[in-house]
Amino acid sequence: MTTSPDAGDLPEPPGLLATLSVPLLAAALAALLLATHGNEAVFRAVNAWPSSTGDALWANVNVLGEGAAMLALAGWLTGRRPRLLVAGLLAALLVTVLLHPIKDLVATERPVRVLGLQAVHVIGEKLSRRSFPSGHSATIFAAAALACALWRGAAARAGILLLATLVGASRLAVGAHWPLDVLAGAALGWTCACVALRIARRWPAPGRTLQLALAVVPLLGAVWLALPVAEADGYEAVRPVLAAAGLLFTIRGLRVVLQSGE
């Protein structure tokens, strides 16, 4: 059954099988890469894609994995799905709290450092440290888990997961991450979002004052996206679009909140 995005308050959290689906698939693929020593080979193959498609495609897809982009688009939930917005912000907090300590603990070097700059096609910033896991992949798969809980149609979910997978692949295409980094990030983000949905379901719907306060977050995400980026080759096309969309979504949601009672 397909759930309309305007129906209800907070979607049902994923069941155990759905919660474990992405982490288990990521673990199976990671085991295959380790068993076949394919981590570098897959990276090289995907990193070569821009030579056929051009840099701009992957540079712009890559932006969708930025935290600011997802926060800006979360403005669509303001005034419409306040509890889902709470779940999304909680998922972002969980990802942040877990991601950076893991990066520091594992301290994996990125492809540029291991293979050398001449062997890696880099689009955008040249990163060298703290590779595992991928923050972009964690962000987009957290958003995908929330979106899959909201839109339950098979076609919608397939499209959401395909987009999330493309964003993860873009981290290889731009030369920033290994495949294992992306798989770990996907598992982390998906799990954090599923946990956040369960936690948010125990909380009451936020009142008008809290909704107004929460709206500041997507507004900040939109403003951040609008700022110039020094090494954003090919990013310009999508950044202002996402920033404008985030601003419009949030402003429209604020009008709904302000016109409603407490």
Query: Does residue 8 sit within a domain?
Result: no
Query: Does residue 18 sit within a domain?
Result: no
Query: Does residue 11 sit within a domain?
Result: no
CA distances to 61, 95, 216 from 206, rounded to whole Å, are 33, 22, 14
Tokens of 256: 């709904």
Tokens of 151: 């839109």
Q: What is the CA radius of gyration of the chain?
A: 19
Query: Does residue 16 sit within a domain?
Result: no
Query: Does residue 9 sit within a domain?
Result: no
pLDDT in tens, the chain (262 residues): 333 343 347 888 888 999 999 999 999 999 999 999 999 999 999 999 999 999 999 999 999 999 999 999 999 999 999 999 999 999 999 999 999 999 999 999 999 999 999 999 999 888 889 999 999 999 999 999 999 999 989 999 999 999 999 999 999 999 999 999 999 999 999 999 999 999 998 888 888 999 999 999 999 999 999 887 766 666 678 999 999 999 999 999 999 998 876 5
Residues 6+ apart with CB under 8 A from 29: 179, 183
Residue 149 belongs to domain spanning? 25-256
Query: Does residue 5 sit within a domain?
Result: no
Q: Cα torsion at 72, 77, 82, 83 (round to 10°)?
A: -90
232, 218, 224: which is closest to 60 by C-alpha? 232
Number of domains observed in the structure of the chain = 1
Helix (H, G, I), strand (E, B) or coil at 5: coil
Query: Does residue 109 sit within a domain?
Result: yes
Query: Does residue 2 sit within a domain?
Result: no
On whether the CB atoms of residues 129 and 166 are closer than 8 A, the answer is no
* Helix 135-150, helix 82-106: angle, nearest 10: 150
Q: What is the pTM of this model?
A: 0.93
134, 229, 125: which is closest to 186 by C-alpha? 134
Q: What's the DSSP call for residue 129? A: S
CATH number of 229's domain:
1.20.144
